[in-house]
Amino acid sequence: MSLLEIRSLSVSYGRIPALRDVSLDVEEGEIVALVGANGAGKTTLLKSISGLLPRTPGSIRLEGELIDKASPANVVRAGISHVPEGRRVFPEMTIQENLEMGAYVRHREAGVGQEIDAIYERFPILGERRKAMADTLSGGEQQMLVIGRALMAKPRLLLLDEPSMGLAPKLVTAIFSIISEINGNGTTILLVEQNASKALGVSNRAYVIENGQIVMSGASKDLVSDRKIIDAYLGEAID
Amino acid sequence: MLASLMQQIVSGLAIGSVYALVALAFSLTVRALNQINFATGELFMLGAYFGIAFTVMLGLPFWMAIPTTAIAVSLVGVAFEKLAYRPIFKANADHPARLHILIICSTVGTGIFLQNGAMLVWGAQALPFPKVFDQTPLDIFGVLIPSEYLWITLVAVLLMAVLNFFLQSSWTGKGLRAAAQDRETAALMGVRLSAADSWTFGLSAGVGAVGGLLIGAISFAYPTMGAGYALKGFTAAIIGGLGSMRGALVGGLLLGLAESLVIAFISSVYKDVVAFSLLLLFLQFKPSGLLMKPVQRRV
């Protein structure tokens, strides 16, 4: 059984279809990349998984359990954390409070404090500035903060939306090594990226989405050498 | 002269702290929902009537009437959110401009409903509040200060401190702050937005109601008593920065103080002129107020 199984999902904004008949699987332990141009429907897909958008028709299952009627709060509880596009920190909360918000659904459990310390160990820069407001952080630090915040929910599946967007090349490399590291610690990842070469480099499998439809899928190492992919998405971006 | 100035300042701070409560009531919905609740004055008025009901009809001591009034009017605020805000919000969430107009209509309408409801239940004439404060003035360095003003200031400031502690330290409070900063991301953290909106309306109503209760306790309760205080509270919120908690306190106290100085040095006739001139000046030259950062559009 796949960890995440999406079947024939369609989503529209008013009368405008954004996703058409999308089917996708994520197996436990994988990094799966979702590659496509701006406006292809990548963000829409993540938002419908996490319950921000109404989803009909089609089905979304987490370990066989239907979650396509669940509220965002229940999707987090079920074990899916979504890191939205654009480094959405809570700007007028401290770094510490931002991380606490990541544990909002499990605040009655013990040990939240220790887990925050674990995040500080992984990202020392956050620990040094724990009392600072999140909007005083640089772009790269904010990206680390939102990833750390999502990990605070102890997800089984992490949805990452454009984690490298707007970051300097050195930071992009750092973020991608963080992604592999998180996966190495046992968290499954569904990664949305415009930086196709990086995304294919870090992932096991990938789906290519165009105009709301999945047009290609396969092992990432095969897609990297696919002529159509190179022409459409890798072009000059190969590095 | 000095004695009367001191008295004016003390009463100005007391009235100002009530303005601060009303300003806070406005700021809570503005910050969380970007909507102005035009029934704020009527929820303030309900506080005075509920205070009379709890002290006279149920015989509660005044110190217990404060939390019970706050909770009772908070529940009115929650019902308000569910009946007069949420259905409109849900149907128009994708059209912010239309939503604003409709919420203005809805909150103005709710205010009229509450005002006329109060008239129906309690009558149009002013109801006297039982004397709850010690009537012997305090003697501070030879200056006689009516003790009720000190109590009003104390209760108002204490309530703001409690609310601040709740918002800063409790999980519910953190969730509310997160939702006010970024609704969608707060939802992704597991904050239930509809519950957060109910909390916002409830807290706003409860805070304003305590203001009405305190004013009622030194004067009367009557159905239209909220309008003037709503205007002054709104002015205080603009001065301090609409949406800012500290701004509400600063704006309220400054406005109360300004009014009392006008009364002391010029004439009580001009206190509203000064208050609303301040409103116009701030709206024209510093619309973000003293303590709010100018609006930045988030990309």
Over residues A27-79, the pLDDT tens digits come to 999 999 999 888 889 999 999 999 998 877 889 999 989 998 899 999 999 99
Binning pLDDT at 50, 70 and 90, where does residue A222 land? confident
Find, in chain B, the residue whose alpha carbon is nearest to that of A93: B178
Least Cα distance to A214 among A70, A85, A33 occurs for: A33
Q: Tell me the sheet residues that pair with A33.
A: A191, A206
**Sheet strands (E) in A128-222:** 157-161, 188-193, 205-210, 213-219
Report residue B48 as tokens. 């005075």
First to last CA, chain B: 56
Q: How far apart are alpha carbons A48 and A72 in whole angstroms?
A: 9
To the nearest whole number, what is the mean pLDDT of chain A?
Answer: 91
Q: H/E element holding A25?
A: strand A16-26
Which residues of chain B have a CB within 8 Å of the CB of A145?
A: none
Length of chain A: 239
Contact state of B189 with A104 under an 8 Å Cβ cutoff: yes
DSSP B56: I
What is the phi-psi region of residue B130: left when phi exceeds 0, alpha when psi lies from -120 to 50, beta otherwise?
beta
Binning pLDDT at 50, 70 and 90, where does residue B268 land? confident
User: Which of A52, A101, A106, A165 would best serve as a mutation to test chain B binding (most B beta carbons within 10 A)?
Assistant: A101
Within 13 A of B232's CA, how many CA atoms are on the CB side?
A: 31
Q: How far apart are alpha carbons B166 and B176 in whole angstroms?
A: 10
Which residues of chain B have a CB within 8 Å of the CB of A90?
A: 177-178, 181-182, 185-186
CA dihedral A36, A39, A40, A44 (to 10 degrees): 110
Average pLDDT over residues B290-296: 73
Choose the closest CB to A104 out of B171, B181, B184.
Answer: B171
Helix (H, G, I), strand (E, B) or coil at A7: strand
Contact state of B191 with A88 under an 8 Å Cβ cutoff: no
Q: What is this model's ipTM?
A: 0.92
Contacting residues for B157 by C-beta, under 8 A, at least 6 apart: B17, B249
Lowest mean pLDDT among A10-14, A98-102, A167-171, B199-203: A10-14
Which residues of chain B have a CB within 8 Å of the CB of A149?
A: 189
Which residue segments constitute the domains of chain A, with CATH numbers given?
A: 4-237 (3.40.50.300)
Answer whether B171 touches A (CB < 8 Å).
Answer: yes
Lowest mean pLDDT among A21-30, B127-136, B154-163, B247-256: B127-136
pLDDT number for residue A121: 93
Over 80: is that where the pLDDT of B204 sits?
yes
Answer whether A79 touches B (CB < 8 Å).
Answer: no
Residues B226-266: tens digit of each pLDDT:
999 999 999 999 999 999 999 999 999 999 999 999 988 88
To the nearest whole number, what is the mean pLDDT of chain B?
Answer: 92
Task: Please state the pTM of the whole predicted model.
Answer: 0.91
Place of tokens 């988030």: B298
Smallest Cα distance from A157 to chain B, Å: 14
Answer whether A147 touches B (CB < 8 Å).
Answer: no
Answer whether B285 touches A (CB < 8 Å).
Answer: no
pLDDT number for residue A235: 63
Which residues of chain A have a CB within 8 Å of the CB of B195?
A: none
Residues B35-89: tens digit of each pLDDT:
999 999 999 999 999 999 999 888 888 889 999 999 999 999 999 999 999 999 9
Find, in chain A, the residue whose alpha carbon is nearest to that of B189: A102
Contact state of A76 with B189 under an 8 Å Cβ cutoff: yes
Answer whether A86 touches B (CB < 8 Å).
Answer: yes
Which residue segments constitute the domains of chain B, with CATH numbers given?
A: 2-285 (1.10.3470)
Q: How far apart are alpha carbons B89 and B34 in whole angstroms?
A: 12
Binning pLDDT at 50, 70 and 90, where does residue A238 land? very low
Q: How far apart are alpha carbons A71 and A156 in whole angstroms?
A: 17
Lowest mean pLDDT among A70-74, A171-175, B127-131, B133-137: B133-137
